[in-house]
């Protein structure tokens, strides 16, 4: 019967344009269930597990979720483009914690009551990092750096700054730092400033001075390529045996493991303890609802689902993601991530101000002046502090 | 065909050019002259910020000198190869194919290979070690050796383009001219200097123009081999501002300077070509 109707209809349709319209109308009628679109920074091998984790949400609500895997920078640009265009297609986005201040204007402030739970189950430090003029970002996954060292060469990792100095002196040219002009360098510098009791937004306090004197002491022993090292290139250098230790994110351990280099000879360890303890920089992916999101309430429901205990536990188990939930462990990574697990309590967020990018750049330039141009650390820090104050004064209304 | 009909035929191409070339250029210029904090335009704030950045000045200097060294090396090497491979001998075809091979490889493949060769524990130092020579820090950031390595790799990759232009031009020079000169007692060097090179001049100028303008856009070679900071050039500097700091305006300003540099340096080359024509 249906075939007869179709054939009859087709005979009546005179133009190709009308046929296309008919097809589009049919497709629209068939697409009854609402579709949510989430852009997340997923690697190709992570996508199937992430999609699997979303199945429960689709079943519970009868909504489809389209996952767009992209790099953080691309998601940020798409978000900005949609904000300017005044219309959007993305319901939920995942952003790098570093880009949150810059993206704050393009995402909606969340109603805290609507995201409690899971808000009450998340680590307060991680939640605070997502609060920029109101709660805008929710931590989907956390990450932080640890010390990656060559166990075969060093035996034990340096546990204090003094031990770090001794290791450097014993292995000249084999100490690596991500010294390129980019955010990765700030992530290497701030843990030392914090570990000496310094503040991330004060360049001339005692903590910064102690950290920069340590950098000056390490400078002669740094691998010459340090001035251009980034996450991937420094990991490659350690894999080739050109350096014996550096700071990096968990992905590097996975990379070493895939090359048969971890957990032996390369292992992870906590960062060396400074005069005021140990610290490491908070990284990770945060969820946000774009200002132009077509289905804001449903997007919030999806974020709530993604941060629920079972889903976070599933993502941790299948993808090794560290959760911001206090009731999801981080210790299941085996010996490979020992050093990272030990640092969980020492994770600290970077300052969240809108001028963080400039602050970060000043730390990078100060480090490079001391480490690669061998300038006096005290003079560099005083000059940097003055520059920071002058820039802020110039911008003050 | 009437002129009006010709315009009708050309409009799709013109529209595409305007959309894909004109609009981005205008947008980038607007971005370069806009204060990213206040949105005020036209402003020179991005250019004054560039002027305060030592990395920008390094990039500008390298962008002027790297192409010069690279193109000079390419011209000399390609000329030598073309002169040699224009002779008749057994295995000439195979050798020609080998010379052209680097250009047939995708740039990123060439550069990834070169990184493996020149990293501190790479093949180059392994070869030196086998010869009993101390290893060299080929890619040490900011060093003259890193600079020379970038020139060498860039030249190696694109010399085949110049080689092909010169080889084609050599094939067009009648053999009788050389034979007559030989009968008059001219030696090989005199024939090269007084006959071959003058007759090759149009091809040399064309190769110089083609590669000269192209070399100013150098990007991937220094970036992949040494990172942004090792041997900075304007395009890698602009990329760094865009990718690492999300500073679109400063990236656009650096790109504008590069465009100005390209236009300024292209004019003498174009004049040379016009004079030659």
In the structure, what pLDDT confidence band is assigned to residue B232 with cuts at 50, 70 and 90? very high
Nearest chain B Cα distance for residue A288, angstroms: 19
> Are residues A102 and B230, on separate chains, in Cβ contact within 8 Å?
no
pLDDT in tens, A94-106: 999 988 988 999 9
pLDDT above 80 (res A191)? yes
Give chain B positions within 8 Å (CB) of A181: 55, 228-229, 240, 244
At A333 the pLDDT is 57
- Mapped onto helix, strand or coil, the DSSP state of residue B93 is helix
Q: Is the distance from CB of A384 to CB of A208 less than 8 angstroms?
A: no
At B184 the pLDDT is 87
pLDDT above 60 (res A270)? yes
> Are residues A99 and B246, on separate chains, in Cβ contact within 8 Å?
yes
In the structure, what pLDDT confidence band is assigned to residue A12 with cuts at 50, 70 and 90? very low
> Are residues B140 and A224, on separate chains, in Cβ contact within 8 Å?
yes
pLDDT in tens, A19-47: 334 334 444 444 557 899 999 999 988 99
pLDDT in tens, B98-139: 999 999 999 999 999 999 999 999 999 999 999 999 999 999
Of B140, B141, B243, the CB nearest to A73: B243
Residue B243 touches partner A, C-beta closer than 8 Å:
yes
pLDDT above 90 (res A382)? yes
Residue B164 touches partner A, C-beta closer than 8 Å:
no
Nearest residue to A266 via CA among A237, A242, A245 = A245
At A394 the pLDDT is 78
Give chain B positions within 8 Å (CB) of A395: 37
> Are residues B119 and A224, on separate chains, in Cβ contact within 8 Å?
no
Of B121, B139, B227, the CB nearest to A241: B121
How high is the mean pLDDT of chain A?
Answer: 90
At A329 the pLDDT is 80
C-alpha distances in angstroms, A232 versus A236, A250, B107?
A: 6, 12, 20
> Are residues A182 and B244, on separate chains, in Cβ contact within 8 Å?
yes
Whole-complex ipTM: 0.80
Residue extents of the structural domains in chain B? 54-276
pLDDT above 70 (res B254)? yes
- Domain B54-276: homologous superfamily in CATH: MetI-like (1.10.3720.10)
At B8 the pLDDT is 87
> Are residues B119 and A242, on separate chains, in Cβ contact within 8 Å?
yes
pLDDT above 80 (res B77)? yes
pLDDT in tens, B143-181: 999 999 999 999 999 999 999 999 999 999 988 888 888
Q: How far apart are CA A90 and CA A79, in angstroms?
A: 8
For residue A392, give every residue at least 6 positions away whose Cβ sits within 8 Å of its Cβ, in sequence order, or none.
A355
Q: Sort residue A134 into left (φ over 0), alpha (ψ -120 to 50) or beta.
A: left
pLDDT in tens, A113-127: 999 888 999 999 899
Give chain B positions within 8 Å (CB) of A375: none
At A185 the pLDDT is 97
B188 vs A374, which has greater pLDDT? A374
Considering the entire predicted model, what is its pTM?
0.84
Give chain A positions within 8 Å (CB) of B54: none
Residue B226 touches partner A, C-beta closer than 8 Å:
yes
What does the pLDDT average to over B183-209?
Answer: 90
Nearest chain A Cα distance for residue B251, angstroms: 15
At B277 the pLDDT is 65
At A336 the pLDDT is 86
Give chain A positions within 8 Å (CB) of B244: 181-183
Give chain B positions within 8 Å (CB) of A99: 246
What does the pLDDT average to over A337-366?
Answer: 91
> Are residues A242 and B227, on separate chains, in Cβ contact within 8 Å?
no
CA torsion angle for B208, B213, B216, B222 (degrees, to 10)?
Answer: -70
State the count of interchain CB pairs (< 8 A) between A and B: 54
How high is the mean pLDDT of chain B?
Answer: 92
């Amino acid at each position: 019967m249906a075939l007869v109707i179709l054939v009859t209809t087709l005979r009546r349709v005179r133009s190709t344009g009308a046929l296309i319209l008919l097809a589009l109308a049919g497709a629209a009628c068939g697409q009854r269930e609402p579709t949510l679109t989430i852009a997340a920074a997923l690697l190709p091998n992570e996508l199937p597990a992430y999609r699997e984790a979303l199945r429960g949400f689709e079943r519970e609500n009868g909504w489809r979720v389209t996952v767009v895997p992209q790099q953080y920078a691309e998601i940020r640009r798409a978000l900005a483009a949609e904000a300017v265009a005044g219309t959007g297609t993305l319901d939920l986005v995942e952003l790098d914690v570093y880009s949150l201040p810059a993206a704050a204007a393009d995402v909606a402030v969340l109603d805290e009551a609507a995201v409690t739970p899971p808000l009450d189950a998340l680590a307060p430090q991680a939640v605070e990092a997502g609060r920029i003029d109101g709660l805008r970002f929710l931590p989907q996954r956390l990450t932080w750096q640890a010390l990656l060292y060559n166990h075969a060469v060093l035996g034990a990792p340096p546990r204090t700054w003094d031990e770090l100095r001794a290791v450097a002196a014993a292995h000249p040219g084999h100490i690596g730092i991500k010294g390129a002009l980019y955010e990765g360098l700030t992530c290497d510098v701030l843990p030392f400033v914090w570990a000496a009791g310094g503040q991330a937004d004060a360049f001339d306090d005692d903590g910064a001075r102690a950290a920069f004197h340590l950098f000056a002491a390490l400078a002669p022993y740094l691998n010459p390529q340090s001035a251009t090292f980034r996450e991937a290139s420094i990991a490659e250098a350690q894999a080739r045996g050109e350096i014996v230790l550096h700071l990096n994110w968990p992905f590097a351990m996975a990379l070493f493991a895939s090359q048969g280099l971890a957990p032996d000879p390369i292992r992870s360890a906590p960062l060396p303890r400074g005069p005021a303890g140990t610290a490491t920089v908070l990284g990770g992916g945060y969820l946000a609802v774009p200002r132009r999101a077509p289905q804001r309430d449903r997007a919030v429901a999806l974020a709530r689902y993604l941060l629920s205990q079972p889903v976070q536990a599933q993502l941790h188990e299948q993808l090794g993601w560290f959760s911001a939930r206090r009731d999801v462990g981080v210790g299941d990574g085996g010996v490979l991530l020992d050093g990272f697990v030990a640092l969980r309590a020492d994770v600290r967020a970077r300052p969240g101000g809108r001028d963080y990018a400039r602050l970060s750049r000043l730390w990078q330039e100060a480090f490079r002046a001391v480490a690669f141009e061998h300038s006096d650390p005290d003079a560099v820090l005083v000059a940097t502090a003055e520059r920071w104050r002058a820039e802020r004064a110039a911008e003050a209304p | 065909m009437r002129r009006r009909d010709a315009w009708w035929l050309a409009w799709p191409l013109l529209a595409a050019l305007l959309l894909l070339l004109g609009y981005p250029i205008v947008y980038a210029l607007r971005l370069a002259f806009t204060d990213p904090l206040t949105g005020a335009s036209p402003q020179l704030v991005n250019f004054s910020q560039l002027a305060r950045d030592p990395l920008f000045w390094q990039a500008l200097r390298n962008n002027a000198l790297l192409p010069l060294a690279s193109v000079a090396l390419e011209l000399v090497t390609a000329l030598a190869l073309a002169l040699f491979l224009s002779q008749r001998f057994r295995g000439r075809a195979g050798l020609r194919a080998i010379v052209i091979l680097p250009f047939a490889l995708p740039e990123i493949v060439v550069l990834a290979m070169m990184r493996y060769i020149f990293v501190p524990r790479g093949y180059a130092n392994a070869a030196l070690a086998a010869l009993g020579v101390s290893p060299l820090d080929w890619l040490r950031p900011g060093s003259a050796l890193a600079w020379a390595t970038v020139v060498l790799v860039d030249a190696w990759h694109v010399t085949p383009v110049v080689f092909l232009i010169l080889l084609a031009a050599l094939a067009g020079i009648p053999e009788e001219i050389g034979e007559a000169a030989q009968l008059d007692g001219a030696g090989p060097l005199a024939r090269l200097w007084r006959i071959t090179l003058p007759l090759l001049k149009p091809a040399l100028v064309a190769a110089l123009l083609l590669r000269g303008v192209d070399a100013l856009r150098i990007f991937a070679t220094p970036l992949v081999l040494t990172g942004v900071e090792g041997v900075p050039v304007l395009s890698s500097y602009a990329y760094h501002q865009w990718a690492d700091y999300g500073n679109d305006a400063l990236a656009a300003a650096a790109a504008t300077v590069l465009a100005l540099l390209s236009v300024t340096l292209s004019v003498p080359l174009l004049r040379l070509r016009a004079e030659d024509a």
